[in-house]
Amino acid sequence: MLNAASELEFSNQTSSEEISQLSSLELSSREKSSSCSAEKPGYPDFIYVMAANIFQGIRFEKSPEKVLIKYGNEPLPSSPESEDESFQRLSYELAFSALKYQDILESILIDSYIFPSTTIPDHLSSLIIVMLYDFQDRKFQARLLSDNEDSISEVQEVENLLHSFKTKLAASLARCRIKHDALSIYHILPETVRKQELRASTLPLYAWVNTCKVSPEEVYSNLKKKGYHKVKSVLHIDDKVFAVDKHCYDVLIFPSHLKNDLLSIDLFKDYKLIFQDKSRSLAVHSVKALLNMDDDILMVNTGSWYTVAHMSVLTNNNTSKIFVCGVESQAKDPDLKNLFTKMGCKNIEILHETFINIESKDHRLQKVKVILLLPRCSGLGVSNPVEFILNEHEDTDLLKDFSQGRISEDKLHVLAQQQYEQLTHAMKFTKAQAVVYCTCSVYPEENEAIVKKALEFQDPGIKVQPYRLSPPVLPLCSLKEIHLSTDKFFRMEPSEITNGCFLSILTRERDPSETVSVKDVLARAAAKGLLDGIELGKSSKREKKKKKSKTSLPKASTNDNCIQMRIAEFLNREAKANANQSETVTTKTPLPQKNTTQVGASSQIRKAIKPTTNALVPTFMKNSSLSRPCERQTNFVRPRPEDKMVALKPVEIVLPPVMMPFSSPQGIGSTQHCCYRWVAPKPLVPACLPTPSISRKGEKPKENSPPSLPGHRRPWL
């Protein structure tokens, strides 16, 4: 039993005055913002017991000469509710709050004469500290109890004791505040701890969309039906709003005060939206950017299973498999499988070995191309230490460092050594092509120093390409992020919108022997039914043209000589006939003007017979000095640009019957099938034959070149 001391020394008026002074002694900005809200009801009895057992394990132990209050080693009996995750979180938060004010609470107990005036068992000292913190947090008001709540005798006895010393406790708290010249005992805490609590009270909530169960558009529509509206930023907004994260397209941001309201909607109850720190979403999105369709992933020190689920959701459309190591006990396997089934995750395999003990040549991990390493770190970049300890870190002893706002040099060295060993072991996996290293720490000893040291001392005996530091694969959304990423590290400093984050990507070139072509990847995807009936056997039009041109080249080479011989024979025959007729022609009058139809036709003929150097014309015809008055269209080969190589195609040419000029007795006025051009005093030159005097493309024509006259239409054209 707990024996109370003497009667109270202060009058009821004095007690009420000092208690009213405590209304300003609030321990966090969260309490300041809710000072006008309803009084806090307190916790159930079993929460106090759970928090007392946690505090017993994480409290600061003082040297024997400085011990004022003795703590026992026997834990209090726990209840079945201690296995519930939400109750565990409440218990840890209460124990951590008492830990931050351990010195102040102990001095209040001594100053108010609770110690040593009462006979208190040592194993209840932790319970008294925890309940005293909650008592002053409720401004020394009575706890509201429900009718159906099971009471615990130890909790009831401690509560009665504190109520009997209520006035003395209030006075002692006021004197402590005056001694430290602080507006409240909250201001007695170290500055780093105060900033941490301030950020924790205002830090937005981050939740990723489970696209295995719902699309982002459906989530937006559902939230709008619940009264939420989409904005660009949720800072300093008290309304029901949400925004989309700039780095991760599937992450939504909510104001911190909406957490209780959000947990009550079906989107969170059905695992369609999942709360998680943004740093973990950045890590899995970085892995996703490095993956091919059938690459496997190895996750190390995942912490929260929601991180594994997020990675699975992002690779749902791939054939990737996710291996998770570090789960030594198989007792949680049924619960984990049940969780993943509810979330729609199917490609997860749990390895019951620690990462260091897994060999790099393990046959199960031969297709692992990316390793996601989330090492245990100090976590002094996060705003909520309890969430970090419960989700990411199992070492509750770190709560001592969080309560002081710093970490000891010895512990930092131990953590850095573990991180270095894990990173170097990850780099030994010869089949892996990338390692993503991510922490929540702000210490360079856990971040840049570890990565640079691992790159510098790579194992030269491994016959693979060495790792190198690669730039971030995430979008840089501000000048500050660009500045912080100049050395290829992605950093986010702790702020009012995010926790701290460090992310590094190590990559190496893929082994040429393992290079897979696009056709092979598509064939694999089609074999596994991922292309939904898309046919891959059809070749493109460009490939068909290439194949056609390649097959036509041999035919062109075989028929080329035959075509040239036919053209040469025809031109030679025409030249001889024109030479005989030119001897009798001495004068020539200009041709009469044709009608509109004839002029249009002749203009088309002139365009078609633009003189070019023809490789198919025999050499003796090019150098011949014979002239003929007949201007015939004999340019059978289409001109081609000089800078392109065009494959010749075989063409069969049927020549028309030759009708010689002046064969009719009527002379020129009857059936004329040739066009003449009068040039004096030089002989007539056929316009269709290429000569050395013809200018090349791009050169100016000679001044003495006679203009071509419109020719008569050919009856065979």
Q: What would you measure as the largest C-alpha separation in the chain, in angstroms?
A: 156
pLDDT at 579 (0 to 100): 63
pLDDT at 14 (0 to 100): 39
* Helix, strand, coil percentages in the chain from 3-state DSSP, rounded to 5: 45, 10, 50
Query: How far is the C-alpha of 294 from the C-alpha of 318, rounded, in Å?
Result: 6
pLDDT at 39 (0 to 100): 62
Name the band, by pLDDT with cuts 50, 70 and 90, for residue 521: low
pLDDT at 186 (0 to 100): 87
Whole-angstrom CA distances from 346 to 251, 306, 309, 508 are 21, 14, 9, 29
pLDDT(115) > 60? yes
Query: How far is the C-alpha of 71 from the C-alpha of 85, rounded, in Å?
Result: 27
pLDDT at 463 (0 to 100): 75
Whole-angstrom CA distances from 520 to 237, 316, 514, 543 are 52, 21, 12, 18
pLDDT(611) > 90? no
pLDDT at 652 (0 to 100): 63
Residue 439 DSSP SS3? strand
pLDDT(632) > 60? no
- In 3D space, the residue among 517, 519, 514, 626 whose CA is nearest the CA of residue 577 turns out to be 626
Name the band, by pLDDT with cuts 50, 70 and 90, for residue 665: very low
- Strands of the sheet containing 229-230, edge to edge, are 229-230, 241-244, 251-254, 205-209, 273-275
Q: Which two tokens stand for residue 357?
A: 């003990």
Identify the residue with better confidence: 7 or 474. 474
Do 430 and 461 form a contact (C-beta atoms < 8 A)?
A: no
pLDDT(588) > 60? no
Is residue 252 classed exposed, middle or buried when 0-12, 13-18 and 19+ CB atoms within 10 A define those classes?
A: buried
Q: Which two tokens stand for residue 701?
A: 């024509």
| Span 689-699, average pLDDT | 45
Alpha helices in 408-487 (DSSP H): 409-426, 448-456, 479-484
Name the band, by pLDDT with cuts 50, 70 and 90, for residue 527: low
Is residue 716 classed exposed, middle or buried when 0-12, 13-18 and 19+ CB atoms within 10 A define those classes?
A: exposed
Q: What is the 3-state secondary structure (H, E, C) of 90-146?
A: HHHHHHHHHHHCHHHHHHHHHHCCHHHHCCCCHHHHHHHHHHHHHHHHCCCCCCCCC
Q: What is the DSSP letter of 64?
A: G
Query: How far is the C-alpha of 102 from the C-alpha of 55, rounded, in Å?
Result: 10
Query: How far is the C-alpha of 430 from the C-alpha of 453, rounded, in Å?
Result: 19
| Span 92-112, average pLDDT | 94
Name the band, by pLDDT with cuts 50, 70 and 90, for residue 646: low
The DSSP result for 196-225, as a single string, is: HHHHHHHPPEEEEE-TTT--HHHHHHHHHH
Residue 692 DSSP SS3? coil
Q: What is the DSSP letter of 65?
A: G
Query: How far is the C-alpha of 208 from the C-alpha of 306, rounded, in Å?
Result: 10
Name the band, by pLDDT with cuts 50, 70 and 90, for residue 655: low
Identify the residue with better confidence: 480 or 556. 480
pLDDT at 159 (0 to 100): 95
Name the band, by pLDDT with cuts 50, 70 and 90, for residue 546: low
Query: How far is the C-alpha of 544 from the C-alpha of 527, rounded, in Å?
Result: 25
Question: Look-up: residue for tokens 């989409």?
Answer: 230
Q: Which two tokens stand for residue 494?
A: 């702790």
Is residue 472 classed exposed, middle or buried when 0-12, 13-18 and 19+ CB atoms within 10 A define those classes?
A: buried
pLDDT at 317 (0 to 100): 87
Which value, in Å, is the radius of gyration of the alpha carbons in the chain? 45
The strand pair at 468-470 and 348-351 is best described as unpaired
Do 245 and 251 form a contact (C-beta atoms < 8 A)?
A: yes
Residue 297 DSSP SS3? strand
Q: Position 613: which residue type?
A: T
Do 369 and 291 form a contact (C-beta atoms < 8 A)?
A: yes
> 73-83, pLDDT tens digit by residue?
888 988 877 77
Please tell me the least confidently modeled range out of 45-49, 272-276, 482-486. 482-486
pLDDT at 67 (0 to 100): 80
pLDDT(532) > 70? no
The yes or no reply on domain 278-512 and CATH 3.40.50.150 is yes
Burial call 439-470: b when 16+ CB within 10 Å, e when fewer: bbbbbebbbeebbeebbeebeeeeebeebeee
The average confidence (pLDDT) of the chain is 77
pLDDT at 540 (0 to 100): 52
Beta-bridge partners for 323: 298, 349
Q: What is the DSSP letter of 366?
A: T
CA 322 from chain centre, in angstroms, equals 17
Name the band, by pLDDT with cuts 50, 70 and 90, for residue 534: low
The percentage of the chain sitting over the pLDDT mark of 70, rounded to a whole number, equals 66
Alpha helices in 276-361 (DSSP H): 278-290, 305-314, 333-343
Q: Which two tokens stand for residue 502?
A: 């460090």
pLDDT at 460 (0 to 100): 74
pLDDT at 374 (0 to 100): 94
Please tell me the least confidently modeled range out of 157-161, 482-486, 572-576. 572-576
The residue annotated as part of the active site, out of 440, 501, 630, 688, is: 440
Q: Which two tokens stand for residue 699?
A: 């050169």
Identify the residue with better confidence: 321 or 524. 321
Name the band, by pLDDT with cuts 50, 70 and 90, for residue 235: confident
Q: Which two tokens stand for residue 129?
A: 């500290």
Q: Which two tokens stand for residue 419?
A: 């991180």
Give the contacts of 696 (CB within 8 A, at least 6 positions apart): 613
pLDDT at 456 (0 to 100): 93
Count CB neighbours of 93 within 10 A: 18
Query: How far is the C-alpha of 178 from the C-alpha of 500, rounded, in Å?
Result: 35
Q: What is the DSSP letter of 186?
A: G
Query: How far is the C-alpha of 316 from the C-alpha of 248, rounded, in Å?
Result: 17
Query: How far is the C-alpha of 685 from the C-alpha of 622, rounded, in Å?
Result: 12
- In 3D space, the residue among 24, 394, 400, 388 whose CA is nearest the CA of residue 200 turns out to be 388
Q: What is the DSSP letter of 36?
A: T
Q: What is the helix (H) or strand (E) element at residue 254, kind and residue range?
A: strand 251-254
The strand pair at 348-351 and 322-325 is best described as parallel
Query: How far is the C-alpha of 3 from the C-alpha of 119, rounded, in Å?
Result: 6
> 367-406, pLDDT tens digit by residue?
999 999 999 999 888 888 998 888 876 678 889 999 988 8
pLDDT at 361 (0 to 100): 86
pLDDT at 591 (0 to 100): 42
* Annotation says 688 is catalytic: no
Which residues make up the CATH 3.40.50.150 domain(s) of the chain? 278-512
Please tell me the least confidently modeled range out of 51-55, 149-153, 461-465. 461-465
pLDDT(593) > 80? no
